A and B are shown apart, each in its own frame.
Chain A
Amino acid sequence: MFFDHIMTASEPVEGTNPQDLSRRAFLRASAATGGGLLMSIARPFPGHAAAEADAFAPNAFMRIAPNGEISLIMPQIEMGQGTYTSMSMLIAEELEVGLDQIRYEHAPASDKLYTNPALGFQVTGGSTSVRGFYVSLRQAGAAARMMLIAAAADTWHVDPASCKAQRGVVSDASGKRHLTYGQLAEKAAKQPVPADIPLKPNKDFKLIGTPAKRIDVAGKVNGTAMYGIDAKLPGMKIATVAACPVFGGKLGSLDDSAAKAVKGVRQIVRIENAVAVVADHMGAAKKGLEALKITWDEGANAHASQTDIVGALEAASHRDGAVGKSEGDIDAGMKGAAKVVEAVYQLPFLAHAAMEPLNCTVHVRKDACDIWVGTQVASRAQATAAEVTGLPLEQVNIHNHLLGGGFGRRLDIDSITQAVQLAKQVDGPVKIIWTREEDIQHDVYRPYYYDRLRAGLDASGKPIAFHHRVAGSSIVARWIPPLFKNDVDFDAVEAAAGPYDFPNLLIDYVRQEPPAGMTTGWWRGVGVTHNAFMVEGFIDELAVGAGKDPVDYRRSLLGKSPRAKAVLDLVAEKSGWGKTMPSGSGRGVAVLLGFGTYLAQVAEVSVGKDGQPRVTRVVCALDCGVVVNPDTVKAQVEGGIMFGLAAALYGEITVKDGRVEQSNFDSYQVLRINEAPAIEVHIIDSQEKPGGMGEPGTSALAPAVVNAIYAATGKRLRKLPINTDELKGA
Chain B
Amino acid sequence: MPYTLKINGTDHQVDGDSDTPLLWVLRNVLEMTGTKFGCGAALCGACTVHIDGVATRSCVTEIDNVGTAAITTIEAIDATPAGHKIQKAWLDLEVVQCGYCQSGQIMSASALLASNPKPNDSDIDDAMSGNICRCGTYVRIREAIKQAALSGNTNERRG
Contact = CB atoms under 8 A, between A and B. Distances in A.
Interface in A262-315: 262-264, 280-284, 286-287
A221 B91 contact: yes
Interface stretch (A25-33, A103-111, A400-408): A400-408
Interface residues of A, number: 67
Contacts of B150: none
Contacts of B5: none
Contacts of B34: 222-224
Residue among B46, B132, B138 having the largest count of chain A Cβ atoms under 10 Å: B138
B132 A223 contact: no
A664 B40 CA distance: 9
A359 B125 CA distance: 31
B6 interface: no
Contacts of B128: 673-674
Contacts of A635: 94, 97, 137, 140
Contacts of B90: 221
Contacts of A186: none
Given A264-B17, A638-B140, A639-B137, A436 B100 contact: no
A158 to B, nearest CB: 42
B48 to A, nearest CB: 12
B21 A355 contact: no
Interface stretch (A115-123, A210-218, A476-484, A577-585): A210-218
Given A264-B17, A283-B25, A353-B134, A676 B139 contact: yes
Nearest to B39: A436
Contact of B98 (A403, A672, A679): A403
Residue among A223, A402, A405, A664 having the largest count of chain B Cβ atoms under 10 Å: A223
A177 interface: no
A698 B38 CA distance: 23
A673 B37 contact: no
Interface in A200-218: 211, 213-214, 216-218
B41 to A, nearest CB: 6
A218 B92 CA distance: 11
Nearest to A698: B136
B29 interface: yes
A223 B35 contact: yes
Interface string B85-127: 0010011001011111111001000000000000000001100
B129 A672 contact: yes
A402 B31 CA distance: 18
Interface string B14-54: 00110111011101110111111111110110100000000
Contacts of B136: 638-643, 646, 671, 676
Contact of B36 (A217, A356, A638, A641): A356
Interface of B: 16-17, 19-21, 23-25, 27-29, 31-41, 43-44, 46, 73-75, 77-78, 87, 90-91, 94, 96-103, 106, 124-125, 128-142
Given A354-B98, A673-B125, 11 more contacts: A229-B36, A355-B132, A357-B38, A407-B134, A635-B94, A635-B140, A664-B39, A664-B43, A670-B132, A672-B138, A673-B141
The 3 closest A-B pairs by CB, nearest first: A223-B34, A642-B136, A404-B100
